[in-house]
């Protein structure tokens, strides 16, 4: 069989290589067309060389195209994947640095919290441009597979306003399940689970190891005796003790989605681990990304060398995309965890929410398992985030800066730290700093600048409570430069 798969943001070289390699492991897909598109022609050319090498070495009939013309790449596509970051590292630096001035200490800042909300404002207009192209020039009924964060907001906008068939995909569930298997001393294949909630706040509500149900106390004991995770996952273990269920997300991610662990600078060190950024370092993902901003240049020879190896030596990853497409095209069923509109799938979350929950895929498409009820504490914390996401999407669609300020005000961590006046001032400053990526707020920017000039809200020069390597805001901006 032959059909067209488009990757938007294909200049994310390593991830694009993974997604397409996974697809080429499906025997029926070796003669498909893979259309790569990105706004960065240099990165696009690198990934084109890698994919063409894989196809050539393995003597496959697959066709590879690369173009900066997104609409041309989408034309005739049956499946469209997005892995874009609008604003690149330059905008990301302000997602972290400006909230720090107001006391908001984020580790990642790409899902909710002040940074994630502004990230959504930048991404949603672009996501809707993708949807317009998909409606107009892709195959009728094409599936849009969104890998970009903030996952729930992007998928919400595409589903509600984009007019396309969309699914949001993340690998957090698989990674957390691997941890659970490790602490229980079983192989991944011996672990069964139901994981449900919203993206990055998903909960393992039923766990079976070799068919035996694992209860809360056994799981707590297993994590606490693990020599590594007992140090690195303090927030997740504490939440497990209090909520009774384990969360999918890393220590650093989870700590910024909740109002309790990062609100007092003197307390943050108690909950994070500095062995790696993902365990809670202040601005950890920004530092990691900035210092590795040219990793694709240095690793390009390695990727080319790997591409020269036969696909028989490549192990297909656990990323959902290739399995979804395989199930829809061949009828071989696949069970995974997908981001879709709720509509009663989770009984105690709002119907309009984008939830992440189990589903099955076959020729009939993606079919979610309905009637799941989350533990009350999990539903409570997810519901707060859903309200923030709903306000954020509304703000992105209308360009109403007051709605945006309400979204940030209701964020759990921001609300635990900032007064309303501080939130209003912080959002003004972020919108002004990111104006070039926020076309919907163009009319609001002049007034925001005037308010900034007369603001009496006090800020501070603060690098955060958990810095592995201290860098000034100016240095971060200089390092990120024009890498959009």
The DSSP 8-state label assigned to residue 468 in this structure reads S
> Active site residue: 102, 119, 229, 257, which one?
257
Active site residue 42: no
Buried b vs exposed e over 38-61: b needs ≥16 C-beta within 10 Å? bebeebbebbbbbbbbbbeebebe
The conformation of residue 353, written as its DSSP 8-state character, comes to S
The phi-psi region of residue 439 (left if phi > 0; otherwise alpha if psi is between -120 and 50; otherwise beta) is alpha
- 124 contacts 393 by C-beta, under 8 angstroms: yes
Angle between helix axes 473-480 and 88-101 (nearest 10 degrees) is: 170
Helix ranges (H only) for 411-456 are 412-417, 420-433, 445-454
226 counts as catalytic: no
| CA–CA distances in Å: residue 420 to residues 118, 206, 433 | 17, 40, 20
Report DSSP state, residue 279.
G
Dist. CA 362–CA 359, nearest whole Å: 10
Please answer whether residues 243 and 375 qualify as being in contact, where contact means their C-beta atoms are separated by less than 8 angstroms: yes
The answer to whether 245 touches 204, Cβ cutoff 8 Å, is yes
Residues 6+ apart with CB under 8 A from 388: 112, 117, 407, 410, 411, 412
The Cα–Cα gap between 75 and 360 comes to 28
For the chain, give the number of residues.
Answer: 484
Tell me the C-alpha distance between 159 and 214, whole Å: 36
Asked whether 461 and 101 are in contact (CB, 8 A), the reply is yes
The upper half-sphere exposure of residue 112, i.e. CA atoms within 13 Å in the direction of its Cβ, equals: 32
Distance between CA atoms of residues 246 and 201, nearest Å: 10
Taking the alpha carbons at both ends of the chain, their separation in whole angstroms is: 36
Where in the sequence numbering do the catalytic residues fall?
171, 257
């Amino acid at each position: 069989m032959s059909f067209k798969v488009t990757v938007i943001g294909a200049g994310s070289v390593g991830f694009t290589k993974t997604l397409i390699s996974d697809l080429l492991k499906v025997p029926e897909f070796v003669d498909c067309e893979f259309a790569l598109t990105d706004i960065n022609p240099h990165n696009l050319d690198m990934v084109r060389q890698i994919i063409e090498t894989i196809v050539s070495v393995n003597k496959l009939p697959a066709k590879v195209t690369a173009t900066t013309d997104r609409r041309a790449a989408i034309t005739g596509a049956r499946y469209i994947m997005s892995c874009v970051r609008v604003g690149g590292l330059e905008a990301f630096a302000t997602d972290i640095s400006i909230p720090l001035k107001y006391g908001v200490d984020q580790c990642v800042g790409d899902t909710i919290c002040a940074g994630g909300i502004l990230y959504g404002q930048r991404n949603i207009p672009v996501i809707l441009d993708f949807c317009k192209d998909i409606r107009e020039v892709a195959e009728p009924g094409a599936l849009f597979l969104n890998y970009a964060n903030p996952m729930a907001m992007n998928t919400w906008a595409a589903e509600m306003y984009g007019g396309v068939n969309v699914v949001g995909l993340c690998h957090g569930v698989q990674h957390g399940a691997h941890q659970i298997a490790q602490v229980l001393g079983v192989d991944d294949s011996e672990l069964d689970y139901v994981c449900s909630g919203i993206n990055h706040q998903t909960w393992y509500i039923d766990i079976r190891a070799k068919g035996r149900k694992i209860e809360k106390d056994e799981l707590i004991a297993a994590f606490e005796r693990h020599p590594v995770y007992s140090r690195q996952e303090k927030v997740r273990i504490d939440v497990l003790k209090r909520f009774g269920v384990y969360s999918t997300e890393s220590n650093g991610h989870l700590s910024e989605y909740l109002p309790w662990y990062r609100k007092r600078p003197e307390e943050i060190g108690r909950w994070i681990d500095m062995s790696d950024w993902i365990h809670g370092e202040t601005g950890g993902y920004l530092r990691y990304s900035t210092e590795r901003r040219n990793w694709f240049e240095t690793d390009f020879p390695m990727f080319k060398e790997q591409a020269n190896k036969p696909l028989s030596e490549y192990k297909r990853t656990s990323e959902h995309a290739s399995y979804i497409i395989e199930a829809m095209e061949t009828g071989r069923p696949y069970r995974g965890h997908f981001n879709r509109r709720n509509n009663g799938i989770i009984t105690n979350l709002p119907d309009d929410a984008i939830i992440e929950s189990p589903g099955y895929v076959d020729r009939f498409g993606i079919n979610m398992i309905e009637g799941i009820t989350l533990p009350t504490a999990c539903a409570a914390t997810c519901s707060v985030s859903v309200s923030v996401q709903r306000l954020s999407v509304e703000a992105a669609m209308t360009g109403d800066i007051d709605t945006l300020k309400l979204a940030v005000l209701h964020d759990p961590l921001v609300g635990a730290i900032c007064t309303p006046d501080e939130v209003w001032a912080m959002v003004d400053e972020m919108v002004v700093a990111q104006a070039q990526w926020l076309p919907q707020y163009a009319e609001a920017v002049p007034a925001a600048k005037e308010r900034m000039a007369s603001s009496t809200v006090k800020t501070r020069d603060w690098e955060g409570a958990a810095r592995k390597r201290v860098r000034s805001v100016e240095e971060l901006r200089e390092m990120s430069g024009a890498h959009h």
